[in-house]
A and B are shown apart, each in its own frame.
Chain A
Amino acid sequence: MADKEKLTIVLLSGDLDRALAAFILATTGASMGMDVTMYFTFWGLNIIKKNDAPIGGKSLIEKMLNFINRGGAKRAKLSKLNMLGLGTYMMKGQMKKAGMPSLDEFIQMAHGLGVKMMPCSTTCGVMGGLAEEVFRPEVSSLAGAAFFLNEARQSKVTLFI
């Protein structure tokens, strides 16, 4: 195969369903020989935070933001039918029954397939002053909008989820 085709995905949502869709496409793209970059912004940042990330922050507001957005793939909830967590619990049960990997496993798998995962630097700043340490080890460096647009410019497929 000649030059690898590029797939760029922006994940703005912190919902379990949307994140799963993003990671299903990312892992499939990588398996199809595509060069995949995922870019996380706003609530999407919660998905790639460590499951046990400490609640940091320099000011009270930052601490509050980080408390509300605890993050971690294991904490992600469905966008619909969450029903105070019951719906999400049931959906996770159905996924397990169907032999589908969990979101946590999808993130590890994506990393193993060479998918690049990058947090948006601006939203890291406004969403509680997030440092790179709050993110999972699979995540690479922070990047800005110019980096993303340059990737998207060269991509065959760009998705905003």
Chain B
Amino acid sequence: MKADHELDCVGLYCPMPIVKTAAKIKELKVGEVLEVIADDKGIKLDMPAWCQATGHECLGIEEEGKEFHVFVRKKHD
């Protein structure tokens, strides 16, 4: 999947990937896609939940070894 921005959260545990995603998404334009890379397994359920709560779209999660690449589309400002 292609992304417009990338956020490296490897080595960080909950809640840091979510806190950083929330801050980063503000820098994106509506419609752009953010790729969050994390190795905390919690991200698999946390990011879809965060998207549900904030109204952004979780496009999918790709697993590469121990890393999770999560794609989030910004839906509103």
- Residues on A lying within 8 angstroms of B by beta carbon are 1, 5, 24, 27-28, 30-34, 98-101, 109, 113
Contact = CB atoms under 8 A, between A and B. Distances in A.
A140 B17 CA distance: 27
B18 A28 contact: yes
B14 to A, nearest CB: 7
Interface of B: 11-16, 18-19, 21-23, 50, 53-55, 76
Given A31-B21, A31-B22, A31-B50, A1 B55 contact: yes
Chain B interface SS verdict (over half): helix
A28 B11 contact: no
Contacts of A99: 11-13, 16
B24 to A, nearest CB: 11
B15 A1 contact: no
Contacts of A100: 12-13, 16
Given A33-B53, A100-B12, 8 more contacts: A1-B76, A5-B53, A31-B22, A32-B22, A32-B53, A32-B54, A113-B19, A113-B22
A100 B11 CA distance: 9
A97 to B, nearest CB: 10
B55 A24 contact: no
B68 to A, nearest CB: 16
Contacts of B53: 5, 32-34
A32 B11 contact: no
Contacts of B12: 99-100
Nearest to B19: A31
B13 A98 contact: yes
A76 B9 CA distance: 28
A103 B40 CA distance: 20
A160 B54 CA distance: 24
B19 A109 contact: yes
A9 to B, nearest CB: 14
Contact of A28 (B14, B23, B55, B76): B14
10 contacts: A5-B53, A27-B19, A30-B22, A31-B15, A32-B22, A32-B50, A32-B54, A99-B13, A100-B12, A109-B19
